């Protein structure tokens, strides 16, 4: 997955809230059940293999979560770090999870490398697409939102 053409390993980080249509994109998991929680696939499946099977009119991100390379021109980049997972971390995890999900992306995951289990406890509830157009989702998704704004929102009980 992260191998250069000359065979050497390259340190490519992967975004677990990635794009569906990049050449390297893979399916990370399937949205399922209450709140569109993600059920992770045991092995990566190329996104290109499944996109054609999604009915017209349904956004692929509505039913699947994708992973793609973490890129330097991403709006969420803060230097080398991901600003999105830093915002997500401010929001309490929905349940007091003790175990992290089984996930094929972990060895390459930008969020895991940056935030560890704090990221994994929140990851299943993250929406690539704002399917629930609620205020918190919009705030977290906005790269302009500050940590202080999120903490105020959480403290106020939403
Ligand atoms: S944050 Fe954790 S659960 Fe989510 S993709 Fe990364 S390693 Fe997997």
Ligand 1 centre to CA of 117 (Å) is: 8
Binding-site residues, ligand 1, Cβ < 6 A: 16, 28, 101, 103, 105-106, 109, 111-112, 119-120, 123
Return the best residue to mutate from 41, 65, 70, 105 for the ligand 1 pocket (most ligand atoms within 8 A of CB).
105
pLDDT tens digits, one per residue of 74-84 = 999 999 999 99
pLDDT of residue 2: 45
Ligand 1 centre to CA of 4 (Å) is: 23
pLDDT tens digits, one per residue of 14-26 = 999 999 999 999 9
Q: Which residues contact 153 (CB under 8 A, 6 or more apart)?
A: 135, 136, 139
pLDDT bin (cut points 50, 70, 90) of residue 135 is: confident
Does residue 27 fall inside a structural domain? yes
Does residue 117 fall inside a structural domain? yes
Ligand 1 atom, smallest distance to 123 CA: 4
Q: Give the residue among 15, 35, 2, 24 at the shortest CA–CA distance from 119.
A: 15
pLDDT of residue 34: 65
Domain around 68 = 14-151
**Cβ pair 106, 39 in contact under 8 A:** no
List phi, psi (to 5°) of 42: -70, -30
Does residue 4 fall inside a structural domain? no
What gap in Å lies between CA 153 and CA 149, rounded to an integer?
6
Nearest CA to ligand 1 atom 7: 106
Global model pTM greater than 0.75: yes
Count of domains for the chain = 1
Query: Buried b / exposed e across 13-51, counting CB within 10 Å, b at 16+?
Result: bbbbbbbbebebbbbbbebeeeebbbebbeebeebeebe
The per-residue pLDDT of the chain, averaged, comes to: 85
Does residue 158 fall inside a structural domain? no
| CA pseudo-torsion sign 138, 22, 83, 90 | positive
Helices (H), 44-109: 48-51, 60-63, 83-90
pLDDT tens digits, one per residue of 33-59 = 766 789 999 999 999 999 999 888 888
């Amino acid at each position: 997955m992260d191998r250069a053409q000359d065979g050497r390993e390259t340190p490519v980080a992967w975004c677990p809230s990635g794009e569906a249509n990049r050449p390297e994109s893979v399916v990370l998991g399937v949205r399922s059940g209450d709140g569109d929680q993600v059920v992770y696939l045991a092995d990566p499946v190329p996104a290109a293999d499944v996109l054609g099977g999604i009915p017209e009119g349904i956004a692929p991100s509505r039913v699947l979560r994708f992973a793609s390379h973490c890129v330097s021109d991403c709006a969420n980049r803060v230097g080398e770090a991901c600003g999105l997972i830093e915002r997500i971390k401010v929001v309490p995890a929905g349940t007091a999870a003790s175990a992290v999900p089984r996930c094929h992306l972990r060895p390459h995951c930008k969020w895991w490398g940056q935030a560890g289990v704090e990221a994994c406890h929140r990851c299943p509830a993250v929406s690539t697409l704002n399917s629930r157009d609620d205020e918190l989702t919009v705030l977290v998704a906005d790269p302009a939102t500050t940590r202080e704004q999120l903490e105020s929102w959480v403290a106020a009980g939403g």
